[in-house]
Copies of this chain bind each other. A is one copy, B any other.
Amino acid sequence: MTLYASSKAALRVYSESLAQELSSQFPGIRVIIVEPSGFRTEQNVLGYPMQIPRNPDPAYDSVREKSMQLYTSLDGRQRGDPEKAVELIVDIVRREGKSVERLGGGRAESPIYVPLGREANNDLEAKCTKMIQVVQKWKDVTDNLDHDDTNSVDLTRWGALRFFFLGSLHAYRAFQDRIRALASAGF
């Protein structure tokens, strides 16, 4: 589940980056990021009848049991209707139906984010609300970690969003160095 969820996150950001790359060279190509809740399909992702492979570590036994129960009880009773979802996606691609007013009149932005279903909407909203609270809670501390000199570049001038990620890795290496230094100083 851990690796599965991670790969989903990677795919989202991959699509976001792809949209940005395409926009400079091929402005006509837009990327749609569809993130669905549980939809009712003929067959469970884990095969039918559903099986979750045994993990050699017995610590996972109870989680597996619970998951098996959930997915077995869910199979064929998922809320989402794939027909309706696909109709909406086709509407978005063609700019028809209910998508028209939401995509706006001009060139549609890219990526177009489309969370599908109540679970996706609720989870996404809850997670984003939580992350905004995290920022607010720590802001007066974490906004004040700058060097005291006046030599710094204001990254916001450069479109910080685009370059944010690379900045992270610089910092990560620095932290490793400092932590190693602290450790060898007997901290």
Chain A interface residues toward B at CB < 8 A: 1-14, 16-18, 21, 24-25, 34-45, 59, 63, 67, 70-71, 73-74, 76-86, 88-90, 98-99, 102, 113-129, 131-132, 134-135, 137-139, 141-148, 151-156, 158, 160-161, 163-175, 177-179, 182, 187
Alpha-carbon distance between A154 and B131 when the two chains are bound, in angstroms: 25
Known: A2-B14, A24-B63. A163 touches B70 (CB 8 A): yes
Contact, CB under 8 Å: A120 / B36: no
Docked-complex contact A36 and B102, CB < 8 angstroms: no
Report A144 CB to chain B, min CB distance, Å. 8
Query: In this complex, what residue of B is CB-closest to A117?
Result: B145
Number of copies: 2
Shortest CB-to-CB span from A160 to chain B, Å, is: 5
Which 4 residue pairs across A and B have the least CB separation, nearest first?
A38-B167, A36-B171, A39-B171, A128-B128
A–B complex contacts, Cβ < 8 Å, 11 sampled: A2-B18, A38-B171, A41-B170, A44-B170, A78-B152, A81-B148, A86-B178, A89-B175, A99-B141, A122-B160, A123-B160
The residue on B at minimum CB distance from A34 is: B175
> Chain B contacts of A85 at CB under 8 A?
145, 171, 175
| Set of chain B residues within 8 Å of A187, measured between Cβ atoms | 90
Contact of A137 among B41, B102, B173 (CB under 8 A): B102
Inter-chain contact A120/B102, CB cutoff 8 Å = no
Across-interface contacts of A171 in B (CB, < 8 A)? 36-39, 41, 80, 82, 85, 116
Whether the pair B131, A114 counts as a contact (CB closer than 8 A) is no
